Amino acid sequence: MARHGENIYKRKDERWEGRYVKGHKSDRKPIYGYVYAKEYSECRELLLRIKSQYPHVQNHLSICGVGLVSDFMSYWLHHIVQPQVKATTFRNYEAILKKWICPYLGNKKLSKIGREDIQRFIGTLPEQGLSAGTVRNATVSCMQL
């Protein structure tokens, strides 16, 4: 699971170090950049200023926040999940997305989806004869919405 936060740490030499992603290698591993400051607030300000110069590495919500659920789930699967999991796990998530989630929720706007929609969808899964593992994986996927 990816960490969330500002990635600011105090070093042994009493300086603050801020880390940011400035790109990705061909194997999708991140390339990090660093900023240093004597004060936490100064480091945070530097980090925010530099992060704004790398819009291609912005949060996936800002990229997909206005589209359909199917667009967001596809982006999430290929850009967030795939680099972190084994190929078989990725294929399982992809199959669940194509076979179960997209037909039920895919045509709804991401901004219009509500908790009730997701709970209703998850409630239909056991009725369709799915295994507990498939229901769990579909539920994990839906929690990203």
Domain ranges (residues) in the chain: 8-57, 62-142
**pLDDT at 1 (0 to 100):** 42
pLDDT (0 to 100) of residue 13: 95
| CATH fold for domain 62-142 | DNA polymerase; domain 1 (1.10.150)
**pLDDT tens for residues 46-89?**
888 887 776 555 444 444 456 788 888 888 788 778 877 888 98
Measured between alpha carbons, how far is residue 9 from residues 6, 35, 50, 60, 130 in Å?
Answer: 9, 11, 17, 24, 45
Range scoring the smallest mean pLDDT among 41-45, 51-55, 133-137? 51-55
- Please give the Cα distance from 78 to 23 (Å, whole number): 16
d(CA 122, CA 100): 10
How many H-runs (helices) and E-runs (strands) does the chain carry?
Answer: 7, 3
For residue 35, the model assigns a pLDDT of 93
pLDDT at 10: 93
Q: pLDDT at position 40, please? A: 92
- Say what percent of the chain tops pLDDT 90: 13
Q: CB atoms < 10 A from the CB of 92, how many? A: 15
**Residue 124 clears pLDDT 90, i.e. is over it:** no
Residues 46 and 35 sit within 8 Å (Cβ to Cβ)? yes
Banded model confidence at residue 23, pLDDT cuts 50, 70, 90? confident
DSSP string, 21-82: EEEE-TTS-EEEEEEEESSHHHHHHHHHHHHTT-GGG--HHHHHTTSBHHHHHHHIIIIIIG
pLDDT of residue 108: 86
Whether 130 contacts 101, CB under 8 Å: no
